[in-house]
Amino acid sequence: MTNIFDIKVLDKDRNETTLSEYKGKVLLIVNTATECGFTPHYEQLQSMYEKYKDEGLVILDFPCDQFGHQAPGTEQEIAKFCSSRFGVNFPMYAKIDVNGEKETELFRYLKDAQGFKGFGEGKTAEFMKGFVAKEHPDYESTSDIKWNFTKFLIDRDGQVIDRFEPTMDMALVEEKVASVIKKR
């Protein structure tokens, strides 16, 4: 079985590395986009990172341009946008594909560990259900990433313990992250 810390990824300068430096940390891995309706999640993610980084939280940003071409630009342009607009200073990696033929091993691993559980309730969730169903009527039956800002929570032992769709209330995401951080 693959260990998440041994999976090869590309850093934002496109150098191959692994996630081994994060052993013993709580990870929140996110596929992001700079021109998405969910882009304000960056602000909430940065706030959560600041609040919990000294307790072992690391947020890993993987830009993805697969959904509506909403992550244009180079990794450096994306990093500059995120730091200047939202003050983001958590680690960013190279732009990736999260689904399909060119999906990265990391996101294949994450999706296998935590499949799609639905968009939840509320106006945004209802919108996403209809929006995604137009393109993929069978979306509920696959573990594919449905849109930007899907988040995966990994505990200190490298276990993928939860998946949050972009429609999930960020306060609930933070609550779950905090509960995992407190487990030592």
Catalytic residue (one of 19, 36, 45, 106): 36
Q: Which residues contact 11 (CB under 8 A, 6 or more apart)?
A: 17, 91, 93, 94
Please count the helices (runs of H) and the strands (runs of E) in the chain.
5, 6
Annotate 48-70 with DSSP letters as a single string. HHHHHGGGTEEEEEEEB-TTTT-
Q: How far apart are CA 6 and CA 156, in angstroms?
A: 14
Based on the residue annotation, tell me whether 36 is a catalytic residue of this protein: yes
Catalytic residues: 36
